[in-house]
Structure 1
C-alpha cells in the first residue's frame, strides 16, 4: 500500500509508541493512588531536554536517560509537595507544572538544536536483528523499548498480585479508610508521584535521544496529553495502556510514511490523524459511563486531610 514496507512500519510503530507508553504507565500508577497529575507534558519535555543535554555533553546515552528520569522526578516532586503537603488544587497545579516545564525546557535547550546525541547501542547482536522479518521486529530496538514492555508487566503484577499493589489501590479507592488502617497515605502518594515523574522523564529522554535524535523546542507536541488520555482509554489497566500506546504509535507511524510517500492528502490532516483517532477511541470507550466510573479510582483527584 503506497509502497510502505509493513516490517519497517511495525518497527517505527514500536519506537514512536514508547515515549507515550512510559508516560502513560507512570501516570496510571499515580492515578491508582488517587492523584491526578496533569503535568505529564511538562515532565516529558523537561526529561527530553535534560536527557539530550546530558547525553550530548557526556557522550553517554545511559547518563542521558538517568538525567531525564531525575529531571522528571524533580518536577513531580514539586507537584507532590504542593498538592499533598500544601493541599493545592491538583488540576491547577498540574497545568502550571506543564507550563513551567515547557518554559524551563526552552531555556535549558538554548544552543543545543542541531546537535547529534551519541548512538545508543543495540542490546542484541547484529546477527539476530539481521534475521528476515522477525529480526528487525523483535531484536532491532533500543534497550529502553524492551524495558518499557517489562515495566508494563511489572506494574500489572505489582498492582494486581502483591500487597504493595493492594495498598496502592486501597489508597486510591478510599484514602480515609487506608489512613485509619495505619497506611501513610501522603508518603505512598509521593512515592507514586515520583515514579510517574521518572517514567515521564524517561519517555521524554527516549524521544530526544533515540527517536528524534535532536532537540527541538516543544518536541513532545502533546504526547503528555495523549498519555493522560491513554490511562482513561486503558480503564486504568497496564496491558490496555500498552495496546492504546501502540494504536497511537501505529497511526502516527503510518501518517509519517503516507506523507513521505506523497499521498494526495493535505499534510495538516495527516498530522492531526493520530490525535483524532485517539479522541474517537476515547469517546467510544467512555460511552458507557457506568463502566468508566466503575474502573476509575474512587478517590481520584480528591484532597486528603490527615486526621491524627
Structure 2
C-alpha cells in the first residue's frame, strides 16, 4: 500500500517516493544471494554424485555396547538440505532475509543443512564400513581452547588492549600446566589424583598471567606498540618452552611431562539426554569452566560497575579519566583477567592429552583472535564463533579417514581457510572498541 503525504490544505498528494536503499545493504544482499546460490548448487551436486544413498550413524554416542550403527536413507537429508537452502536463497533474492537473531538462526540452519548434505556425500558409496559419529564431543574439546582464548581477547580489547599474545599464552600455559601437574603427581602423595590436574590448571593460569604481565609492562608502562609486543611474546613463548624442555635431563623429562589427565565428571540426569547428553554433560572440569566462563564474562562486562569501566576506557579513555576512573589500572585488571582465561585454555592442551609437545597450540591462538572479530567483541557471539571454528577443526579429524573423496590436505587446511573467508568476507563492517590499541597516559 502506497504511503500518501498531505499538503497544508489537508488534501492527499501523490504517493511518496520510494526510499533509496543504502549501498551497504545492496552489497549485503548480493553477497547473500551469491553465497546461497553456490551452496544450493553444491548441495545438488552432492546429491547427484551419490550412487547408494544408504549410510549409517552412531550419533547416540559411546554410551553402551547396545549402541549399534543405525542405517538410513541419506536422500532425505540431501534433498532436505537443498530445500532449506533454496528457501533462504529465495528470501535473499526478495530482500526478505531476516536480520538480527532471526538471521543468525536461519544461517545456522543453512549451515547445518549444508553439513548434513556434505556428510551424506562423504560417507555414501564408501568402500569402508564407516559410520557417522557424533561430532559434539570432539568439538567441545577444541572449543575449550578457542572459547577461553576468545573470551580473553574480548576482555582485553574491550579495555583498549590488543592481545595478540594469546598464542604465546596458550603454549606457555600448556608447558607449565604439564610441569605443575607432573610435580603434583610425583611429589604430593597425599593429594588425591583426581585433584592433581587442578594444580596443573593453576600453573597454566599463572603462565597466562605472566605473559599478560609482560604485555602490560611493555604496552601500558612503556607504550610500545601492542601488536608488535604481542607478536614478540608469541615467539618468546615458543622459544622459552622449547628451551626449557630441551634443558630438562633425559631421566627427568618423563617425570616432568607426565601430567594426570582430567577425568570426566558426569552430571546425573543431564548426561542421559539422547544424542547430546554424553557429549555435553560427561566432560572434564575445564569444559564445565568454559560453560560458566561465557555467561560469567558477559555478566562482568555488561552487568557490573567494573564492566562499565572496562568498556568506557576501551571506548573513550579521556572521558573515563575525567570522571575519576584510573584508565591504566582498569586496563591492567582486564589484561590480567584475560591472562587467567587464556592460561586455563592453554592448560587444556596438556591436561586433556596427557603430555606436552612443542608447538602443540598450532596457531589456535590466532583463530581465537579471529573469533573475537567475528563475534564483534561480544563475549557470547565470540564464543559462538569459536565453537564454529572448533566444529570445523573437529570435522577435519572426523573426515581424515575419507581420503578417497576428500583430499587430506584440503581437510587439514579447512579450519584456517574458513577463518580467512569468515574474517575477510562474511563478517561485514565491524567496529572495534574505539580506543583499542591506542596508548593513554595521564594528561593526554
Structure 1 residue 75 corresponds to structure 2 residue 211: yes
Give the distance between the partners of 1:73 and 1:143, measured in 2 at CA: 20
Alignment correspondent of 1:162: 304
Alignment correspondent of 2:368: 227
1:94 to 191, 209, 230: 230
1:178 to 316, 320, 328: 320
Structure 1 residue 5 corresponds to structure 2 residue 147: no
User: Are the counterparts in 1 of residues 182 and 260 from structure 2 also a CA contact under 8 Å?
Assistant: yes
Displacement of 1:213 after TM fit? 2.5
SS at the partner of 1:18?
helix
Give the distance between the partners of 1:276 and 1:90, measured in 2 at CA: 26
Alignment correspondent of 1:21: 147
Alignment correspondent of 1:187: 329
Out of 107-116 and 76-85, give the one that drifted further.
107-116
The verdict on how the C-alpha distance between 1:131 and 1:230 changes in structure 2, with shifts beyond 3 A counting, is closer
Q: How many residues align?
A: 301
Give the distance between the partners of 1:300 and 1:125, measured in 2 at CA: 40
Would you tell me which structure has more strand in proportion to its own residues?
2
In structure 1, list runs of 5 or more residues that go unmatched: none
1:237-292 residue CA offsets vs partner (Å, 9 max, x unmatched): 1111121111111111111111134444332221111111111111234433xxx1
The verdict on how the C-alpha distance between 1:246 and 1:133 changes in structure 2, with shifts beyond 3 A counting, is same
User: Are the counterparts in 1 of residues 140 and 387 from structure 2 also a CA contact under 8 Å?
Assistant: yes
1:213-236 residue CA offsets vs partner (Å, 9 max, x unmatched): 321101111011111111111001
Give the distance between the partners of 1:305 and 1:116, measured in 2 at CA: 46
1:109 to 245, 257, 260: 245
Displacement of 1:107 after TM fit? 1.9
In structure 2, list runs of 5 or more residues that go unmatched: 1-118, 124-129, 186-195
Displacement of 1:126 after TM fit? 8.0
User: Are the counterparts in 2 of residues 18 and 245 from structure 1 also a CA contact under 8 Å?
Assistant: no
1:186-226 residue CA offsets vs partner (Å, 9 max, x unmatched): 1110111111112111111101211x332110111101111
Out of 153-162 and 129-138, give the one that drifted further.
129-138
User: Are the counterparts in 2 of residues 109 and 215 from structure 1 also a CA contact under 8 Å?
Assistant: no
TM-score by length of 1: 0.91
User: Are the counterparts in 1 of residues 147 and 290 from structure 2 also a CA contact under 8 Å?
Assistant: yes
Q: Whose RCO is larger (CA < 8 A, sep 6+)?
A: 1
Give the distance between the partners of 1:260 and 1:113, measured in 2 at CA: 31
Give the distance between the partners of 1:140 and 1:297, measured in 2 at CA: 38
TM-score by length of 2: 0.64
Alignment correspondent of 1:33: 159
Matches within 5 A, 1:136-147: 136-147=278-289
User: Are the counterparts in 2 of residues 47 and 68 from structure 1 also a CA contact under 8 Å?
Assistant: yes
Give the distance between the partners of 2:273 and 2:178, measured in 1 at CA: 31
Give the distance between the partners of 2:436 and 2:442, measured in 1 at CA: 16
User: Are the counterparts in 2 of residues 32 and 297 from structure 1 also a CA contact under 8 Å?
Assistant: yes
Give the distance between the partners of 1:94 and 1:236, measured in 2 at CA: 18
Would you tell me which structure has more helix in proportion to its own residues?
1
User: Are the counterparts in 2 of residues 49 and 108 from structure 1 also a CA contact under 8 Å?
Assistant: no
The verdict on how the C-alpha distance between 1:67 and 1:254 changes in structure 2, with shifts beyond 3 A counting, is same
Give the distance between the partners of 2:364 and 2:284, measured in 1 at CA: 20
User: Are the counterparts in 1 of residues 218 and 229 from structure 2 also a CA contact under 8 Å?
Assistant: yes
Give the distance between the partners of 2:207 and 2:152, measured in 1 at CA: 15
The verdict on how the C-alpha distance between 1:102 and 1:193 changes in structure 2, with shifts beyond 3 A counting, is same
Displacement of 1:128 after TM fit? 6.3
Give the distance between the partners of 2:280 and 2:407, measured in 1 at CA: 34
